[in-house]
Amino acid sequence: MKTKPDCKIHYTDSIYYELEQTSRLMKKITSQLFTKLELDMTMDEYAALDTISINAGICQRDLAKFILKDRANTGRILDSLEQKGFITRFIDTKNNRLVKKMGITENGLKELNMIDSKIETYLKSLTRKIDPADVDRVQKTLKSFRIELEKVAEINI
Protein backbone atom coordinates (compact mmCIF):
# COMPACT_ATOMS: atom_id res chain seq x y z
CA MET A 1 0.00 0.00 0.00
CA LYS A 2 1.40 3.37 -0.98
CA THR A 3 0.86 6.33 1.27
CA LYS A 4 1.86 9.93 1.07
CA PRO A 5 4.62 10.86 3.51
CA ASP A 6 2.27 13.10 5.50
CA CYS A 7 -0.64 10.61 5.56
CA LYS A 8 -1.54 8.88 8.78
CA ILE A 9 -1.10 5.11 8.74
CA HIS A 10 -4.13 3.54 10.33
CA TYR A 11 -3.81 0.82 12.92
CA THR A 12 -5.61 -1.59 10.59
CA ASP A 13 -2.79 -1.07 8.09
CA SER A 14 -0.05 -1.84 10.61
CA ILE A 15 2.04 -4.88 11.43
CA TYR A 16 0.54 -4.82 14.93
CA TYR A 17 -2.95 -5.30 13.54
CA GLU A 18 -1.79 -8.11 11.24
CA LEU A 19 -0.09 -9.91 14.13
CA GLU A 20 -3.13 -9.53 16.37
CA GLN A 21 -5.56 -10.75 13.71
CA THR A 22 -3.29 -13.66 12.75
CA SER A 23 -3.02 -14.67 16.40
CA ARG A 24 -6.79 -14.52 16.84
CA LEU A 25 -7.36 -16.62 13.74
CA MET A 26 -4.81 -19.23 14.84
CA LYS A 27 -6.49 -19.48 18.25
CA LYS A 28 -9.87 -19.95 16.57
CA ILE A 29 -8.51 -22.51 14.10
CA THR A 30 -6.73 -24.58 16.75
CA SER A 31 -9.76 -24.46 19.05
CA GLN A 32 -11.96 -25.70 16.19
CA LEU A 33 -9.40 -28.40 15.37
CA PHE A 34 -9.28 -29.65 18.97
CA THR A 35 -13.09 -29.78 19.00
CA LYS A 36 -13.31 -31.51 15.61
CA LEU A 37 -10.76 -34.14 16.63
CA GLU A 38 -12.59 -34.61 19.96
CA LEU A 39 -9.37 -34.20 21.92
CA ASP A 40 -9.63 -34.44 25.70
CA MET A 41 -7.69 -31.24 26.14
CA THR A 42 -7.93 -27.52 25.43
CA MET A 43 -5.32 -25.65 23.44
CA ASP A 44 -4.14 -23.97 26.66
CA GLU A 45 -3.74 -27.36 28.33
CA TYR A 46 -1.85 -28.62 25.29
CA ALA A 47 0.51 -25.61 25.36
CA ALA A 48 1.14 -26.14 29.07
CA LEU A 49 1.71 -29.90 28.68
CA ASP A 50 4.07 -29.36 25.75
CA THR A 51 6.00 -26.75 27.74
CA ILE A 52 6.24 -29.04 30.76
CA SER A 53 7.45 -31.89 28.54
CA ILE A 54 10.51 -29.90 27.46
CA ASN A 55 11.07 -28.11 30.80
CA ALA A 56 11.05 -30.90 33.39
CA GLY A 57 10.67 -29.56 36.90
CA ILE A 58 9.33 -26.18 35.82
CA CYS A 59 7.53 -24.18 38.50
CA GLN A 60 4.05 -22.70 38.04
CA ARG A 61 5.31 -19.13 37.84
CA ASP A 62 7.78 -19.92 35.05
CA LEU A 63 5.16 -21.94 33.19
CA ALA A 64 2.75 -19.00 33.42
CA LYS A 65 5.38 -16.80 31.78
CA PHE A 66 5.89 -19.31 28.97
CA ILE A 67 2.19 -19.68 28.16
CA LEU A 68 1.30 -16.03 28.94
CA LYS A 69 -1.38 -16.83 31.50
CA ASP A 70 -1.80 -15.41 34.97
CA ARG A 71 -1.06 -17.71 37.87
CA ALA A 72 -4.75 -18.36 38.62
CA ASN A 73 -5.48 -19.53 35.05
CA THR A 74 -2.24 -21.51 35.01
CA GLY A 75 -3.31 -23.16 38.27
CA ARG A 76 -6.67 -24.18 36.77
CA ILE A 77 -4.91 -25.59 33.70
CA LEU A 78 -2.52 -27.56 35.91
CA ASP A 79 -5.37 -28.84 38.10
CA SER A 80 -7.09 -30.18 34.98
CA LEU A 81 -3.91 -31.79 33.65
CA GLU A 82 -3.22 -33.36 37.04
CA GLN A 83 -6.80 -34.71 37.33
CA LYS A 84 -6.40 -36.30 33.90
CA GLY A 85 -3.16 -37.92 35.07
CA PHE A 86 -0.98 -36.06 32.56
CA ILE A 87 1.28 -34.28 35.07
CA THR A 88 2.51 -34.70 38.62
CA ARG A 89 3.32 -31.89 41.00
CA PHE A 90 5.97 -32.04 43.65
CA ILE A 91 7.62 -29.74 46.15
CA ASP A 92 11.20 -28.65 45.53
CA THR A 93 13.40 -25.73 46.46
CA LYS A 94 14.29 -22.76 44.29
CA ASN A 95 16.44 -19.95 45.66
CA ASN A 96 16.09 -21.48 49.16
CA ARG A 97 12.28 -21.39 48.91
CA LEU A 98 9.79 -24.22 48.67
CA VAL A 99 8.07 -24.21 45.28
CA LYS A 100 5.66 -26.50 43.50
CA LYS A 101 7.16 -27.95 40.38
CA MET A 102 5.74 -30.31 37.85
CA GLY A 103 6.67 -33.02 35.45
CA ILE A 104 4.90 -34.91 32.71
CA THR A 105 3.68 -38.44 33.40
CA GLU A 106 3.97 -41.39 31.05
CA ASN A 107 0.24 -40.98 30.26
CA GLY A 108 0.82 -37.28 29.63
CA LEU A 109 3.64 -38.04 27.22
CA LYS A 110 1.49 -40.59 25.38
CA GLU A 111 -1.37 -38.08 25.14
CA LEU A 112 0.97 -35.33 23.92
CA ASN A 113 2.45 -37.62 21.24
CA MET A 114 -1.03 -38.71 20.14
CA ILE A 115 -2.22 -35.12 19.82
CA ASP A 116 0.98 -34.11 18.02
CA SER A 117 0.46 -36.86 15.46
CA LYS A 118 -3.18 -35.85 14.93
CA ILE A 119 -2.61 -32.13 14.49
CA GLU A 120 0.79 -32.12 12.77
CA THR A 121 -0.51 -32.77 9.26
CA TYR A 122 -3.28 -30.24 9.62
CA LEU A 123 -1.03 -27.48 10.96
CA LYS A 124 1.56 -28.12 8.25
CA SER A 125 -1.20 -27.77 5.64
CA LEU A 126 -1.77 -24.19 6.81
CA THR A 127 1.63 -23.17 5.42
CA ARG A 128 1.86 -25.53 2.45
CA LYS A 129 1.45 -22.69 -0.07
CA ILE A 130 4.28 -20.70 1.51
CA ASP A 131 7.92 -21.34 0.71
CA PRO A 132 9.51 -23.18 3.69
CA ALA A 133 12.35 -20.62 3.72
CA ASP A 134 9.75 -17.85 4.12
CA VAL A 135 8.05 -19.73 6.95
CA ASP A 136 11.42 -20.10 8.69
CA ARG A 137 12.24 -16.42 8.16
CA VAL A 138 8.85 -15.28 9.50
CA GLN A 139 9.20 -17.55 12.54
CA LYS A 140 12.67 -16.18 13.34
CA THR A 141 11.49 -12.59 12.82
CA LEU A 142 8.44 -13.11 15.04
CA LYS A 143 10.59 -14.66 17.76
CA SER A 144 12.94 -11.66 17.68
CA PHE A 145 9.95 -9.31 17.77
CA ARG A 146 8.39 -11.22 20.70
CA ILE A 147 11.66 -11.08 22.64
CA GLU A 148 11.76 -7.29 22.18
CA LEU A 149 8.10 -7.02 23.25
CA GLU A 150 8.82 -9.05 26.39
CA LYS A 151 11.37 -6.41 27.39
CA VAL A 152 8.71 -3.67 27.49
CA ALA A 153 5.57 -5.59 28.40
CA GLU A 154 4.31 -5.36 31.94
CA ILE A 155 3.30 -8.93 32.60
CA ASN A 156 2.11 -9.45 36.14
CA ILE A 157 2.50 -13.16 36.69
pLDDT tens, residue by residue, 32-78: 999 999 998 999 999 999 999 999 999 999 999 999 999 899 999 99
pLDDT of residue 75: 95
Rounded (10°) angle between helices 43-54 and 60-67: 120
- Report the alpha-carbon distance of residue 134 to residue 154 in Å, rounded: 31
- In one letter, which amino acid is 30? T
Q: Find the distance separating the first CA and the last CA of the chain, reported in whole Å.
A: 39
pLDDT, tens only, 29-44: 999 999 999 998 999 9
Please, which pLDDT band fits residue 2 given cuts at 50, 70 and 90? low
| Higher per-residue confidence, 154 vs 27 | 27
CATH level 2 (architecture), domain 11-152: Orthogonal Bundle (1.10)
- Report the alpha-carbon distance of residue 145 to residue 20 in Å, rounded: 13
Task: Give the CA distances from residue 154 to residues 23, 69, 151, in Å, rounded to whole numbers and listed in that order.
Answer: 20, 13, 8
